[in-house]
């Protein structure tokens, strides 16, 4: 039987990340996201629906998310669905399905004091303040990435000429 569990989400935080530590000292953060979908109904009217999803981020990535993200921040999350159960304070059995984040990218400008740009804008925008942050916490400007892509393209062209 074939199995595959992979999730890709792009959206905005609905609240600031919630960072806590396990008894062993491992950082864990909850990211509450809103992911929008636009579509046309049978009458060709433009509609929009929002899906609210929780993602769980661990270790250094959790601390980095807590440091740089805030309510409204645009982000891209790659991970897998995970279910868990627990008993609440009233003794009720509770369960949830959430995303266990394997990779988080910050979209938009971390320097702006205003809300983040719409998701995806930072990757194609010529602005110098556009950034991508990966799970390792390293920051690369979109301009540096496009320069690298241009260099790689030139290298391929030169190799094909020889």
pLDDT tens per residue across all 162 residues of the chain = 999 999 999 999 999 999 999 999 999 999 999 999 999 999 999 999 999 999 999 999 999 999 999 999 999 999 999 999 999 999 999 999 999 999 999 997 654 444 444 444 333 333 333 344 443 444 444 444 444 444 444 444 444 454
Q: Which residues pair with 116 in a beta bridge?
A: none
- The number of folded domains in the chain is 1
The proportion of the chain whose per-residue pLDDT surpasses 70, expressed as a percent, equals 67
Residue 1 in any domain: the answer is no
For residues 63 and 81, the answer to whether their CB atoms sit within 8 Å is: no
Residue 122, domain extent: 7-161
Q: What is the rounded CA–CA span in Å between residue 137 and residue 45?
A: 42
Residue 19 in any domain: the answer is yes
Residue 36 in any domain: the answer is yes
Residue 26 to residues 59, 60, 62, Cα–Cα distance (Å): 6, 9, 9
Residue 2 in any domain: the answer is no
Q: Say what the pLDDT of residue 119 is.
A: 41
Residue 86 in any domain: the answer is yes
CATH number of the domain that 143 lies in?
2.40.50.140
Q: Say what the pLDDT of residue 137 is.
A: 43
């Amino acid at each position: 039987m074939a199995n595959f569990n992979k999730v890709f989400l792009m959206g905005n935080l609905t609240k600031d990340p919630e960072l806590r530590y396990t008894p062993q000292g491992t950082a864990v953060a909850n990211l509450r996201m809103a992911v929008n979908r636009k579509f046309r109904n049978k009458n060709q009217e433009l509609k929009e629906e929002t899906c609210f999803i929780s993602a769980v981020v661990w270790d250094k990535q959790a601390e980095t998310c807590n440091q740089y993200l805030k309510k409204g921040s645009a982000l891209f999350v790659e991970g897998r669905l995970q279910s868990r159960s627990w008993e609440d304070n009233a003794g009720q059995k509770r369960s949830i399905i959430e995303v266990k984040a394997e990779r988080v990218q910050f979209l938009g400008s971390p320097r702006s004091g205003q809300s983040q740009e719409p998701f995806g804008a930072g990757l194609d925008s010529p602005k110098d303040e556009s950034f991508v942050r990966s799970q390792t916490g390293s920051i690369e400007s979109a301009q540096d990435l496009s320069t690298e892509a241009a260099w790689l393209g030139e290298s391929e062209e030169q190799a094909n000429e020889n």
